[in-house]
Structure 1
Amino acid sequence: MPRSPILSAARIRTAALDIIDRDGLDGLSMRKLAAELGVQAASLYGHVSTKEDLLHEVAGEILAEVDVSGFVRGDWRHGLRSTARSYRAALAAHPNIVPFLAYGPAHREASLRRLDTVHGGLVAAGWSRREATMIAAALMYLVFGSALNSFSSGWDAREYGDRYPNLDKAHLLPAVARELDHDSFELALEALITGLSARAPG
């Protein structure tokens, strides 16, 4: 008899995320997950109730990488930067699950804890509760917009011919898409923080 059970919640989450990374969200099913783990599908339900519950648990592990400690230290600007950058990095590591996460925090404990820290830090810095909610939402628009699409890699101006003379070098963008995506994200993040700083309380 084995010392440890064949299945564990952690092993199930890891296998589920591997499938999502490889096959996408639609590629995950409880039957496929069971086959990946070498067990019967019924065995999974002793550890997780539904596929959606499993996705929330997987999401919680990914969001554990998001750093909101800047808000705890009382510096809302640093908090926005560290939260946005770590959030984007966490999503970039697992892009296939981004559409699920983009629906909002729902009942995910990990999401709600971090949102609570962000909101509390902004209110403590003098922002109204309404403004804090708007700032947190704006930050998520920026992070998820960046994670959902690579704008620069979609260009291939060679097919446009002479119709768009100002885009004559746009076909070069895919070669540096990763760098441009990073720099564009940083540009937008700093523009957000600069704009907020101009109207910051106190």
Structure 2
Amino acid sequence: MAKMLASRRTPLSSERILDAAVELLDRDGLDALSMRHLGAALGVEAMSLYRHFPSKVRLLEGLAGRLLSELALPVPGAAPWDVSVRALARGYRELLVRHPNAIPLLATLQLTNPGALGPAGAVMALLRDAGFGAKTSIHALATAVSYVIGFAYWEAGTAVLRAGVSEPPAIPAGADPYIAERWSEIALADCDEAFEFGLDVLIAGFDRVRGG
């Protein structure tokens, strides 16, 4: 009750609504994020939220922007382009690890979302400054984002299989000999090592098409 009264005394703002939306998303998931639930969490009527976000679509756009604001964006020329791309990819993965329930939202993010323009523009500026052509930069951006989000989906989806496990499960009957040979590493995947391997491949591929 005291928390609700304090919430009602605190002026409602877009920032406060989005902070509460992130908390609700992290705790209960994207499907539970409704105007009614969000209003209850803030101690206000749902209709009060519409003064700041006229629809749930606008709320989700704002939420995506709020999440992406956690990224440290690269500055062209501040470091070699590949170092900056690696840092940004790692930062995006860390963001998704902190907010796994946000992965479906960010996986469907479009550039029509104002919150996406800053990060996308920063990456495009970085790549163009490094000698990537305009079209190649667009493809590189889409490829990098797809890799990080896809990896995060896999990492979040298999986290329960790795939690508190020190020994691999039994090898499935009929497993290919090459699978059986490395079963322990496969079953107890080192996510950091796997991510860095994929990132190495990604950067090497980008370097091959740089200038195109």
TM-score w.r.t. length of structure 1:
0.84
User: Hey, what does 2:80 align to over in structure 1?
Assistant: 75
Three-state SS of the structure 2 residue aligned to 1:31 is: helix
Distance of 1:160 and 1:113 partners within structure 2: 47
The equivalent residue for 2:3 is none
Quick check: 1:170 aligned with 2:183? Answer: yes
Match of 2:49 in 1: 44
Deviation readout 1:90-118 (Å, 9 max, x if unpaired):
11111111111111333322311121121
Aligned length: 198
Q: How does 1:54-93 map to 2 (within 5 A)?
A: 54-73=59-78, 75-93=80-98
Which of 185, 189, 202 is 2:199 aligned to? 189
- Which ranges in structure 2 are unaligned for 5 or more consecutive residues? 1-5, 163-167
Q: Which residue of 2 aligns with 1:98?
A: 103
Q: How far apart are 1:49 and its partner, in Å?
A: 1.1
Answer whether contact 2:61 2:115 (CA < 8 A) is retained.
no
Q: Secondary structure, in 3 states, of the residue corresponding to 1:112?
A: helix
The whole-number CA distance in structure 2 between the counterparts of 1:184 and 1:76 is 22
Offset at 1:82? 1.4
Look up the equivalent residue of 1:170 and give its one-letter code: W
Sequence identity, in percent? Answer: 32
2:128/2:137 contact within 8 Å kept = yes
Q: Distance in 1 between matches of 2:195 and 2:115?
A: 24
Partner of 1:201: 211
- 8 Å contact 1:119–1:132 — kept in the other structure? yes
Check the 8 A contact 1:126/1:201 in 2, yes or no.
yes
Distance in 2 separating the partners of 1:23 and 1:181: 25
> 5+ unaligned residues in a row in structure 1: which ranges?
none
| 1:19–1:117 CA distance, 2 compared to 1 (3 A) | same
Once the two structures are TM-superposed, the CA of residue 121 in structure 1 deviates from its matched residue by: 2.0
Secondary structure, aligned partner of 1:149: helix
| C-alpha distance in structure 1 between counterparts of 2:199 and 2:183, whole Å | 24
Q: Name the counterpart of 2:165.
A: none
User: Do residues 20 (structure 1) and 25 (structure 2) align?
Assistant: yes
Cα shift at 1:47: 1.8
Amino acid at match of 2:30: L
Q: Does the CA-based 8 Å contact 1:74-1:125 persist in structure 2?
A: no
Question: C-alpha offsets along residues 140-171 of structure 1, whole Å, 9 cap, x if unaligned?
Answer: 11111111112765697527235444434636
Distance 1:46 1:32 in 2: 16
- Cα deviation digits, residues 54-90 of structure 1 (max 9, x gap): 1111211211122232435263212211111111111
Distance in 1, Cα, partners of 2:158 & 2:179: 12
Give me the TM-score of the superposition, normalised by structure 2. Answer: 0.80
Q: Which whole-Å CA distance do the structure 2 matches of 1:86 and 1:125 have between them? A: 20
CA–CA distance in structure 1, aligned partners of residues 184 and 84 of structure 2:
36
Alignment match of 2:12 (pick from 7, 18, 21)? 7
| Distance in 2 separating the partners of 1:114 and 1:56 | 14
Aligned Cα root-mean-square deviation (Å): 2.8
Which residues of 2 match residues 119-134 of structure 1 at below 5 A?
119-134=124-139
